[in-house]
């Protein structure tokens, strides 16, 4: 049980990974909870497309306490070497921005959405992410999401939840739904 009388803050590293749906939305839910506690939140979405999403509209309404930044675009063609290089460059730029934001001490919670996926597909170096975890402000919470989180990240995290794919409507041929997927 969480000791709610203990107001002392311990910065945690939370990981949402696995094949089932709910990783990004779990991170968003936690981030909204933190925002509701008056905490300053930054969410960076790696590999997200430029299309508008419900969370983008919602976060705008939350004001300056919740910032959302997008890095990279939605579609990666792993067979196209030139495209891969472009994606790598964007992801690495994004990670640089993330490091600066994290070490600035301006945020009490930072979410790196789809960062696990970016690591597992070799867009960014997991050593770099491990180093960011080691150098983050001790009281800041850091959330990492995405499938296939590397083992070293799971070991370093304070909490890991693996979403289990019991079933998903997509396999019945139902495409992405407004309000559920975006
Ligand atoms: P969400 O953003 O809904 O929390 P997620 O972050 O867990 O999902 P991602 O791995 O980021 O999922 O994949 C993004 C998209 O893929 C989502 O729109 C989601 O509905 C879909 N998706 C997730 N898991 C599955 C699955 N097991 N089968 C098919 N599609 C999936
Ligand atoms: Mg996701």
Give every strand in the sheet of 41-46, ordered side by side: 66-71, 41-46, 109-113, 141-145, 13-18, 159-163
Per-residue pLDDT, 91: 92
Per-residue pLDDT, 71: 86
Query: Which residues lie near ion ligand 2 (Cβ < 5 Å)?
Result: 23-24
User: Residue 140 — very low, low, confident or very high, per pLDDT cuts 50/70/90?
Assistant: very high
Domain assignment of residue 170, yes or no: no
Domain assignment of residue 180, yes or no: no
Quote the number of domains for the chain: 1
Digit-coded pLDDT (tens) for 71-116: 876 666 777 888 888 889 999 999 999 999 999 999 999 999 999 9
How many helices (H) and strands (E) the chain has is answered by 6, 6
Structure tokens at 125: 């170096």
Which of these, 142, 152, 82, 89, lies nearest to 118 by C-alpha position? 89
Domain assignment of residue 28, yes or no: yes
> Using alpha carbons only, what angle is made at residue 179 by residues 50 and 142, rounded to the nearest 5 degrees?
65
Ligand 1 atom 30, closest CA: 170
Digit-coded pLDDT (tens) for 22-60: 999 999 999 999 999 999 999 999 976 677 899 999 999
Angle between helices 126-135 and 81-104 (to 10 degrees): 10
Domain limits for position 113: 13-163
- Centroid of ligand 1 to alpha carbon of 6 (angstroms): 35
Query: Distance between CA atoms of 160 and 149, rounded to whole angstroms?
Result: 10
Ligand 1 atom 12, closest CA: 21
- Mean pLDDT confidence for 56-72: 94
- DSSP-derived secondary structure letter, 146: -
62 contact partners, CB below 8 Å, separation of at least 6: 32, 35
pTM over 0.85: yes
Domain assignment of residue 137, yes or no: yes
Domain assignment of residue 172, yes or no: no
Query: Distance between CA atoms of 94 and 76, rounded to whole angstroms?
Result: 16
Nearest ligand to the C-alpha atom of residue 19: 1
Nearest ligand to the C-alpha atom of residue 25: 1
- Centroid of ligand 1 to alpha carbon of 51 (angstroms): 16
Which of these, 93, 88, 41, 99, lies nearest to 70 by C-alpha position? 93
Per-residue pLDDT, 160: 98
Domain assignment of residue 150, yes or no: yes
Within 10 A of 14 (CB to CB), how many other CB atoms are there? 19
The atom of ligand 1 lying closest to the CA of 19 is: 27
Which protein residues touch ligand 1 with a CB less than 6 Å away? 19-25, 114, 147, 163, 165, 168, 170, 176, 181
Domain assignment of residue 114, yes or no: yes
- Centroid of ligand 1 to alpha carbon of 47 (angstroms): 13
Domain assignment of residue 77, yes or no: yes
Pocket probe for ligand 1: among 21, 114, 163, the residue whose CB has the most ligand atoms within 8 Å is: 21
Indicate which CATH number applies to the domain containing 55: 3.40.50.300
């Amino acid at each position: 049980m969480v000791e709610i009388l203990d107001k002392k803050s311990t910065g945690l590293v939370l990981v949402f990974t696995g094949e089932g749906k709910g990783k990004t939305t779990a991170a968003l839910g936690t981030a909204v909870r933190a925002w509701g506690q008056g905490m300053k939140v930054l969410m960076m979405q790696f590999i997200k497309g430029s299309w508008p999403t419900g969370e983008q509209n919602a976060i705008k309404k939350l004001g300056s306490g919740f910032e959302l930044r997008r890095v990279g675009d939605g579609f990666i063609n792993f067979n196209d070497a030139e495209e891969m290089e472009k994606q790598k460059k964007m992801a690495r730029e994004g990670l640089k921005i993330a490091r600066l934001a994290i070490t600035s001490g301006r945020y009490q919670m930072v979410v790196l959405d789809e960062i696990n996926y970016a690591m597992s597909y070799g867009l960014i170096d997991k050593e770099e992410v491990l180093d960011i975890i080691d150098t983050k402000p001790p009281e800041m919470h850091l959330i990492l999401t995405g499938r296939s989180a590397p083992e070293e990240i799971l070991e370093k995290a304070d909490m890991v939840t693996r979403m289990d794919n019991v079933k998903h409507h997509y396999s019945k041929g139902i495409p992405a739904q407004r309000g559920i997927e975006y």
